[in-house]
Amino acid sequence: MKYGPLVFLAAFLALSASWCGFVLTPQIQLGRAVQETNSVVTSEMYPQDRPGSARQGLEIYRAEGCAYCHSQQVEQKGTLVDVFLTDAGKNSMAVAAALTEQHLGTFSGPGLAAGLPKPVLRNASLDTAKALANLLKKAGANSQLRLVPFGPDIERGWGVRRTVAEDFIADSHVMPGSQRVGPDLANVGMRLPDVNWQLMHLFAPRSVTKDSPMPSYPFLFERKKIGKQPSPDALQQLPKEFAPAEGYEIVPRPEAKALAAYLVSLRADVPLYEAPATPPPAATNAPAVTNAPAK
Amino acid sequence: MNSSTNQPATSAPLSDSAAKDTTVPIWLIVVLFLLVYWGAVYFDEHGGWFDAQVYTPYVSAEQVKDFQVSGGETPFERGRKVYASTCFVCHGPNGLGAPGTFPPLAGSDWVNEPQPGRMIRIVLQGFSGPGLKVNGQPFNTGSAMVPWASVLSDDDIAAVITYVRGNAEWGNKASPVTPEQVHAIRQKVASHPLSFTPTEIEGISPAE
């Protein structure tokens, strides 16, 4: 080992460089992260501490290895901007002329004021949208920009925007996962908020999803003889081939209840500063779906 | 080089001396420079300069800031939403509070001060302790106001104070507050670990 110290130094440098990159830098960046931005566009606090049972459910999620097959991170490829006309102003002729001049279609002055807010530009870049908003403002109209994140995950309905570190700030164990044998769960509480569905899916995945490859977790449940009255916790509407024999019922153990509480507490639908998005207005449904890029 | 590989015992010194004579080929240097250049460009485009608030597909803090479109709502309207998600639990939907427990915001002499300095401090750091009087009414129950500095952004705090101070329905008509004012006071009170007490806050000029 003529070059022993040199080899040692090279190995040491290589390892410490990757340690700096993978451990130290993220720790400096996010280690002491506090909740910096709360979103109020939807009039609610986010992210919040999970309720107690959901926090226990996180431990069950961890213990049962759910993260081996399920990720909790929604990916986003980009953000497009829609421009909605909210107020045609006094001189709607001028607004219509400005819109027509931008080759956004033919608009007539009187028709413009009907059915507001209405989209005048879709899937544009932020600069284009802002330029149009300025133009409309000059013509005396008011407009609203709506941010539409897009990407394969968002098209699948797994979330409305990408997942960021702040989504996990209330969790003591973070379960982002990396494998996607099953679907992403970042927003599962919004997609499948029914606790009974979640419990049935845990007890017998194929009772609710025909071709699910997910293992069943019957040990989180108890088969009980029905006493004087059926238990209020017992699984409802279990299909025949999964249901227990007559006179018996399937009752979730506390672990199953906690896990289901955790699953329905998972959500990533609230815009944050670092992941801006415009929540779909209550009147019209989910613009994110209509704006999915054709592919 | 080929012959030396077949001499196990003496090959090391031989190849060493052979290595001394060869120069690093010029193409390797070019490739290395290209790699470093590509790395620098990649870092510039995707690194976000290690900002904790920049995630792909955004490339810089400025770009994330550009994407904060308020959806056309005024600070007052935004403040209404912040109020509905935070303050109203104690201060009530109409800003009346609860007698003796939670001070009112509607028509309060604290809210309607010409300068918002004290109010911003109270929202940021919280407020507790005996001796508080609002419009002459004592509030001595010991219920404390929680600090919001770590939860609400400067924009949100400015919006909600603007909403409370300018709420004509509540009989308030004080001046609006800008995020810059909140930011300046946030820096000042960063070293103040505890919630403010009435005597302490009365020692601070509202204009500060």
Q: Answer with the residue of higher pLDDT: A295 or A55.
A: A55
DSSP state of A219: G
Residues A216 and A193: beta-carbon distance below 8 Å: no
Q: Which residue does chain B place closest to A34, by CA atoms?
A: B150
Taking CA A245 as the corner, what is the angle to CA A242 and CA A246, rounded to the nearest 5 degrees? 125
Q: Which residues, other chains included, contact B35 with Cβ-Cβ below 8 Å and sequence gap of 6+?
A: none
Residue B91 CA to residue B83 CA, distance in Å, equals: 9
**What angle do the packed helices B179-189 and B117-125 form, to 10 degrees?**
60
Is B81 in contact with A147 (Cβ distance < 8 A)? no
| Shortest Cα distance, chain A CAs vs residue B71, angstroms | 5
Residue B16 CA to residue B4 CA, distance in Å, equals: 11
* Chain A residues touching B68 at Cβ < 8 A: 273, 276
Residue A129 CA to residue A80 CA, distance in Å, equals: 9
Highest mean pLDDT among A128-137, B3-12, B97-106, B139-148: A128-137
Is the pLDDT reported for residue B90 higher than 70? Answer: yes
CA A91, A97, A102, A108 dihedral sign is positive
| Shortest Cα distance, chain B CAs vs residue A30, angstroms | 6
How many CB atoms within 10 Å of residue B119? 25
The whole-number pLDDT of residue A93 equals 80
* ipTM of the prediction greater than 0.90, yes or no: no
Q: Report the candidate in A132, A140, A154, A157 with the shortest Cα–Cα distance to residue A82.
A: A132
pLDDT digits (tens, 9 = 90+) for B57-76: 898 888 888 888 765 567 88
B138 φ, ψ to 5°? -75, 145
Q: How far is CA B143 from the centre of its chain?
A: 27
Q: Determine the longest span between alpha carbons in chain B, in angstroms.
A: 102
Residues B177 and B164: beta-carbon distance below 8 Å: no
CA B180, B185, B190, B194 dihedral sign is negative
Over the Cα atoms of chain A, what is R_g?
A: 26
Is B150 in contact with A40 (Cβ distance < 8 A)? no
Q: Does A146 touch chain B (CB under 8 A)?
A: yes
Nearest by CB to residue B72, choosing from A25, A86, A147, is A86
pLDDT digits (tens, 9 = 90+) for A112-168: 777 778 888 889 999 999 999 888 888 888 888 889 999 999 999 899 999 998 888
Q: Which residues, other chains included, contact B4 with Cβ-Cβ below 8 Å and sequence gap of 6+?
A: B11, B14, B15, B18
* Chain A residues touching B16 at Cβ < 8 A: none
Strand partners of residue A83: A121, A145
Is B67 in contact with A45 (Cβ distance < 8 A)? no
Residues B110 and B165: beta-carbon distance below 8 Å: no
Q: How far is CA B3 from the centre of its chain?
A: 68
Q: Does A207 touch chain B (CB under 8 A)?
A: no
At B94, the pLDDT band (50, 70, 90 cuts) reads: confident
At A10, the pLDDT band (50, 70, 90 cuts) reads: very high
Is the pLDDT reported for residue A48 higher than 70? Answer: yes
- Strand pairing category for A248-252 and A221-225: antiparallel
DSSP state of A275: B
Is B72 in contact with A142 (Cβ distance < 8 A)? yes
Q: Which residue does chain B place closest to A151, by CA atoms?
A: B57
The residue assigned the tokens 């040692």 is A8
Nearest by CB to residue A126, choosing from B54, B55, B67, is B67
Is A33 in contact with B52 (Cβ distance < 8 A)? yes
Is B85 in contact with A79 (Cβ distance < 8 A)? no
The whole-number pLDDT of residue B16 equals 58
At A5, the pLDDT band (50, 70, 90 cuts) reads: very high
Q: Which residue does chain A place closest to B62, by CA atoms?
A: A274
Is the pLDDT reported for residue A38 higher than 70? Answer: no
Position B113, amino acid = E
Q: Report the candidate in A48, A44, A80, A183 with the shortest Cα–Cα distance to residue B86.
A: A44
Is the pLDDT reported for residue B4 higher than 70? Answer: no
- Mean pLDDT lowest among A205-209, A232-236, B79-83: B79-83
Residue B74 CA to residue B82 CA, distance in Å, equals: 12
Residue A235 CA to residue A215 CA, distance in Å, equals: 18
Q: Does A172 touch chain B (CB under 8 A)?
A: no
Strand partners of residue A80: A148
Q: Answer with the residue of higher pLDDT: A233 or B139.
A: A233
Residue B153 CA to residue B81 CA, distance in Å, equals: 14
Q: Which residues, other chains included, contact A19 with Cβ-Cβ below 8 Å and sequence gap of 6+?
A: none
**What angle do the packed helices B154-165 and B75-85 form, to 10 degrees?**
100
The whole-number pLDDT of residue B200 equals 83
